[in-house]
Structure 1
């Protein structure tokens, strides 16, 4: 899911992100997102003068997994490439002991996770900026996705977090 991180990002959102990351021990990405996300946050973590240094450090401490059938090996520290059948691979990850897995991925990767019913909770950050050319993450849905609102948190900058749990 692509979220514009412009002047709307504030310290409350940064604090929430760090708190949320304390509940995970794995960050899962699609290839395209991983190739941008990991180097960006590594640079932030390595720059003590960056306003998001603390968040960047937290991102860089958590192991990353990039799901890709085209990448042969990882170019980044603390990153593994996962290949094969996405449904089987993610179900195997979910069956392992540990904390939660968080996903940062583009619309095609997230859509494939949704299609295979692999997401338990959806954290949607609604930014009051309209971007007309983005692809919907809920496309193509073959069946209705039944979700229950678990949390709603507004931030001072105007962004709203909506957390939904999947009904089983």
Structure 2
């Protein structure tokens, strides 16, 4: 059975990170992101994020020599499943639309996919996955800033969830990778 893996940047106080280190840290975490994606062949993503995410990586995949070119080629070539209740048909290559029940759809993907599945965001979509305990591995890059407000992937939890720490890696920028599994 495939595993669903989340890669996301968050702030030290748990909000979606849109801080000043976000752009600086990307080159530091490129190799980790590439290696994490090695085990996956499918990306699941919410519609709101897909509208920027997919075109960005398609464009980066068309620019040999860019620092993220190799990762971009893999993301552009990967199967993408966009969860949306408003899109009828895919707007992008290698993309399908899933409009059904999120739990049933993710469980079906996990059962039928050969490789792992990765999710990159957005916050509302990921919060639904977290709430339904569908994420098997969390790869959280904690940005060394406190936002004090914003959106959190954990804000909709009815009950607490326990995680098992798999690893922690500090980076020069101050970013810290926290890798957890759902207990």
Normalised TM-score (structure 1) = 0.92
Aligned to 2:171: 155
User: How much is the aligned-residue C-alpha RMSD, in angstroms?
Assistant: 1.5
Question: What is the distance in 1 between the residues matched to 2:113 and 2:77?
Answer: 19
1:107 is matched with which residue?
A: 123
Give every structure 1 segment of 4 or more consecutive aligned residues whose post-TM-superposition deviation is greater than 6 Å: none
The equivalent residue for 2:25 is 8
CA distance, structure 1, for counterparts of residue 142 and residue 123 of structure 2: 15
Q: How does 1:1-168 map to 2 (within 5 A)?
A: 2-4=16-18, 5-10=22-27, 12-167=28-183
1:132 Cα deviation (Å)?
Answer: 3.9
Q: Is the contact between residue 25 and residue 100 of structure 1 (CA under 8 Å) also seen in structure 2? A: yes
Normalized against structure 2, the TM-score is what?
A: 0.85
CA separation in 1, counterparts of 2:131 and 2:103?
9
How many Å separate the matches in 1 of 2:82 and 2:113?
19
Determine helix, strand or coil for the equivalent of 2:26: coil
CA distance in structure 2 between the aligned counterparts of 1:76 and 1:131, rounded to whole angstroms: 33
User: For the structure 1 residues 151 and 54, does the alpha-carbon distance in structure 2 shift closer, same or farther, using more than 3 Å as the test?
Assistant: same
- Is the contact between residue 3 and residue 125 of structure 1 (CA under 8 Å) also seen in structure 2? no
CA–CA distance in 2 between the matches of 1:75 and 1:97?
22
How many residues of Structure 1 are paired with residues of Structure 2 in the alignment? Answer: 166
Relative to structure 1, the CA distance from residue 97 to residue 32 in structure 2 (aligned partners, 3 Å threshold; closer, same or farther) is closer
Q: For residue 3 of structure 1, report the CA deviation from its aligned partner.
A: 4.0
Unaligned residue ranges in structure 1 (runs of 5+): none
Q: Deviation string for 1:24-49 (max 9, x for gaps)?
A: 01100011111111000111110114
- Decide whether the 8 Å contact of 1:9 with 1:157 is kept in 2: no
Once the two structures are superposed, residues 88-117 of structure 1 have per-residue CA deviations (whole angstroms, 9 ceiling, x without a partner) of 111111111411111111111111111111
Secondary structure of the corresponding residue to residue 98 of structure 1: coil
